[in-house]
Amino acid sequence: MFSGIDRPRQPLHPMAGLILSFLTLTLGLALGQPLNLYLFMASLALLYLVAGYGRTMVRVFRLLGVIALVVAGLAYLAGDSVAGSLMTLGRIALVGLSSVPLISVHPTQLSRALTQAGCPRIIALALLITIRFVPVLASEMQRIREAMTIRGVRFHWTNLRHVYRALLLPLVVRLINISDLLALSVETRGFSLSERGTVYKPVRWRLKDALVGMAFAGVIAGALVL
Amino acid sequence: MSHVKSPAASSIWIKDLYVRYSAEEAGWILEDIDLEIGPGELVVLSGYSGTGKSTLLSTINGVASKVFGADIRGLVCVQGENVESMDLGHISRRVGTVLQGAEAQIFNLQVDDEVAFGSENLGLSPAVIAERVRTYCGLMGLSPDQAIEGLSGGQKQRLVIASVLAMEQGILLLDEPLANLDGASAKDLLGFLWDTTRQGRTAILVEHRLDMVLPYATRLLCLENGRIVQDLDQAQAERSYLSLFPGRQNSSRCSTSELFRLAHVEVAHGHAPVLRDLSLTLHAGEQVVILGENGSGKTTLLRTLAGLVRPRSGELWRAPQLREQPLKSVGYVCQNPNYQLFMDTVYKEVDFQSESAENTWAFLDLFGIRHLQERHPLALSEGQKRLVTIAAIAAMRPQVLLLDEPTVGQDHQGLGRLIETLEEMRRRYGTSSVVATHDVRCADVLGDRVLWLEDGTLARDGDHGLVRDYFQRHTAEHQRPVEGQSRL
């Protein structure tokens, strides 16, 4: 899922990505006119493209574009004005656009950046564990279902007894075991809440972060003037 | 053998130790333990399942009292300091622990981050951490840039070991570190432990594969019912224990009727092929052992035979009797027994797909687990869980039993019983077995026919003689390494 973490480089520093996402969403929502909103988004899309988010934008809008058009179309059919429907379309697009820098941040990089910024390590650790938990959960469910099939349990979602005994029970036991062992592993590897530790591969700010930041400030100033 | 006589000079010093997990328990899990282990010692801790080996390790690293809340009497010191007076964070700076169950201990997404985690906690500089990551990834045959998601079970075990070794504590505790490791990785690890203990570190291994570890050990401690009953040096240990290996019974009683026929089979995980151009035939009554390094495709071959994965190309033919009731006629026991247990007593677990109560009792007796009949399966030791899982599958009376690493967690007694049971099943019911293993004891006794996999292809297919050829590739692992030859 996240192979090749350090290659290629992240477009921006993880903290810059977080801030950019947050400001894009909040400022965009504050714009009341469709024209202003679309100009704001067009400027930011150009900036994101230059910053290196082109591929992510294509992926996001390939998914979100259809949803935005359907929702805006339904709003129009439900009696909304053209301007209102355009605003609905724009706000959904804004959510997509604002998510671009955020979802481009690699969890490992974000965890490192948070630790460097003085954030308690437990938060960075929890972030990583949470992200890793999703594929672990999926894989555990798959293995349990396979194991039950081997044992001759004919599994049906509608059969609550099967769901409880043959899926839920082993799954809960496995997840408790995994979390116990994980906690033990973390503690026996020297993790302590009271000590900060170091970062193996520090994430550094680059000139590009500053340039994108200045350009972003210019876009905001333009939006405020308009 | 070192003969240290004071806590300060010892790496580990234990006096009058009694341990139980609850003060309400009548008996002690460990009792009357007096032990001194000095710098430079590589100690193997042996004993049957449930005799307290893991408890002794978790008492030394402080986990028993500080995490499990165990009732502990007596004194345990590491490097001269009382374990009770330190918190876990400080103990872990002196004592490195490799726990069982590698997969559940990993939380990073890339190999180097996982290996670096412990060193980050120690507050080492990025340059030092980078050097350690490079060194220990190299030692365990891992690529630092590799994504963890694609690693095999054996590779994850190597990763967990590397992440502990990279902290470079003075004392290492390793609980079944060779589980799922192929011969080359096991040899590298044992060689490293030998070297590092020569330089003054201390290591304690809990391991059932004594044939592999004894040539490297300086001392063998045997636990029985929570007490240390034997404390032997290396020469005494080899004399006493290598003679206990179960003997091979000459048995080549397979029929000519085919059970499986694979022709140019290719199986892939995603886009990556795991088995390639595999052609072979398995016959009724055969006892087949699959050998191969980590990631060579052993588990995938078993899963293919069990019908859990479908070949991407090629032909997989099953005998008509296997096609009629595929789930009952092909019994598959996976690596981790926890997935296959779901009833609330051992009896019900074995009885679940058994044809009669009589049959259930017969299999409880055959596997020697009748005395566990009322116990909850998930509350048993790992070795016992594995026996229950195999018994539950075996009670379905499959025509073929597919076993993935059945000896992990099995002591000599458990292994001997397992082998006798498989032989008895073949004698009574004509059950064939296909076993994937890294364990020479298991392969030696169960391998009438040997399939040797390399990178997903069938490198060799032959009789029992192949077991010797395969394990002799790593003969150095059975010889004490030459002093001063670094493995790094």
| Burial letters B199-229, b for 16+ CB under 10 A, else e | eebbbbbbbbbbbbbbbbbbbbbbbeebebe
Same domain, A25 and A88: yes
Q: How many domains does chain A have?
A: 2
Same-domain check for residues A42 and A102:
yes
Question: Does residue A19 sit in the same domain as residue A103?
Answer: yes
Instruction: Please tell me the predicted confidence (pLDDT) of residue B242.
Output: 54
**Which range marks the domain in which residue A136 is found?**
121-188
Evaluate whether residue B480 is within a structural domain: no
Domain termination residue (choose one: B213, B241, B269): B241
Residue A3 with chain B: CB contacts under 8 Å: 110, 146-147, 149-150
Q: Which of B184, B213, B241 is the last residue of a domain?
A: B241
Does some domain include residue B2? no
pLDDT at B378: 82
Are residues A183 and A148 part of one domain? Answer: yes
**A54 and A102 share a domain?**
yes
Q: Take residue A166 and report the two structure tokens written for it.
A: 């043959």
pLDDT for residue B61 is more than 70: yes
B191 assigned to some structural domain: yes
Query: What CATH number does the domain containing B406 carry?
Result: 3.40.50.300
In a domain? residue B50:
yes
Distance from CA of A200 to the nearest CA of B (A): 5
pTM of the model: 0.75
Burial A61-77 (b: 16+ CB within 10 A, else e): beebeeebeeebeebbe
Residues B282 and B205 in one domain: no
Angle B28-B32-B34 (CA atoms, 0-180°, nearest 5)?
135
Residue B189 contacts residue B481 (beta carbons within 8 Å): no
Instruction: State which residues form the domain around B272.
Output: 258-474
Q: Which of A120-124, B169-173, B258-262, B309-313 has the lowest mean pLDDT?
A: A120-124
Q: Are residues B216 and B188 in the same domain?
A: yes
Q: How confident is the model at residue B406, as a pLDDT?
A: 86
Does residue A6 sit within a domain?
A: no
Task: Compute the distance between CA of residue B123 and CA of residue A114 in angstroms, rounded to an integer.
Answer: 16
Q: Check whether B387 has a pLDDT greater than 70.
A: yes
Asked if residue A57 is part of any domain, the answer here is yes
Domain boundary residue, one of B241, B266, B299 = B241
Residues B418-442 have pLDDT tens digits of: 888 887 888 888 888 999 988 877 8
| Same domain for B103 and B162 | yes
CA angle at B15 for the pair B12 and B19, rounded to the nearest 5°: 95
Looking at the structure, do residues B227 and B365 belong to the same domain, yes or no?
no
**Chain A residues with CB-CB distance to B95 below 8 A:** 188
Q: Which pLDDT value is given to residue A223? A: 82
Beta strands in B321-456 (DSSP E): 330-333, 400-404, 432-436, 449-454
Q: Which of A169-183, B350-364, B407-421 has the lowest mean pLDDT?
A: B407-421
Share of chain B above pLDDT 70, in %: 92
A170 contacts in chain B (CB < 8 Å): 338-339, 341-342
Q: What is the sign of the dihedral through the CA atoms of B451, B452, B456 and B458?
A: negative
- Cβ–Cβ gap B121/A147 under 8 Å: no
If asked whether residues B227 and B376 sit together in one domain, one would say no
Q: Domain for residue B432, yes or no?
A: yes
Question: Which residue of chain A comes nearest to B308, CA vs CA?
Answer: A146
Nearest alpha carbon to residue B388 among B330, B446, B327, B333: B333
Whether B69 and chain A come into contact, CB under 8 Å, resolves to no
Phi, psi of B268 (to 5 degrees): -130, 150
Tokens of B6: 């004071």
Q: For chain A, say whether B379 makes contact (Cβ under 8 Å).
A: no
Q: How far is CA B112 from CA A188, B125, B156, B167, in A?
A: 18, 15, 13, 13
Q: Are residues A151 and A98 in the same domain?
A: no
**Quick check: B109 and A198 CB within 8 A?**
no
Domain-located, residue B368: yes
Q: B117 and B198: one domain?
A: yes
Lowest-pLDDT range, B348-357, B379-388, B455-464?
B379-388
Chain B interface test: which of A130, A137, A151 (most B C-beta within 10 Å): A151
Pair (A19, A98) in one structural domain: yes
Number of domains in chain B: 2
pLDDT digits (tens, 9 = 90+) for B223-274: 988 999 989 887 887 776 655 444 555 555 556 688 999 999 999 887 788 9
The mean predicted confidence, pLDDT, of chain B is 85
User: Are B151 and B265 contained in the same domain?
Assistant: no
Q: Is residue A198 part of a domain?
A: no
Partners of A171 on chain B (C-beta within 8 Å) are none
Distance CA A175, CA A198 (A): 30
Percent of chain B residues topping a pLDDT of 90: 45
Arithmetic mean of pLDDT, B273-294: 90
Task: Chain B: give the shortest CA distance to residue A10, in Å.
Answer: 16
Same domain assignment for residues A176 and A71: no
Q: Are residues B230 and B267 in the same domain?
A: no
A104 and A19 in a common domain: yes
Q: Based on the domain organization, do B313 and B175 belong to the same domain?
A: no
The single residue listed with the structure tokens 């890294």 is B438
Residue B108 · residue B148 · CB < 8 Å? yes
> Tens digit of pLDDT for each residue in B431-483?
889 999 888 778 888 888 999 999 899 999 988 888 888 877 755 444 555 44
Q: Which residues does chain A have with pLDDT short of 70? A: 1-9, 155
List Cα–Cα distances, A184 to B149, B224, B337, B468, in angstroms. Answer: 21, 26, 21, 39
Nearest-CA distance A3 → chain B (Å):
5
- A64 and A20 in a single domain? The answer is yes
- Does residue B299 sit in the same domain as residue B217? no
pLDDT for residue A7? 40
CB B275 within 8 A of CB B300: yes
Rounded CA-CA distance B324/B261 in Å is 17
Residue B417 lies in a domain: yes
Question: Does residue B102 lie in a domain region?
Answer: yes
Same domain, A158 and A87: no
Mutation target to probe the B interface, by most B beta carbons within 10 A, among A200, A203, A204 is A200
Cβ-nearest to A190 among B107, B113, B167? B167
Q: Are residues B162 and B216 in the same domain?
A: yes
pLDDT at position B294 = 80
B:300-329 residues touching chain A, CB 8 A cutoff: 306, 308, 327-328
d(CA B36, CA B38): 7
B345 and B390 part of one domain: yes
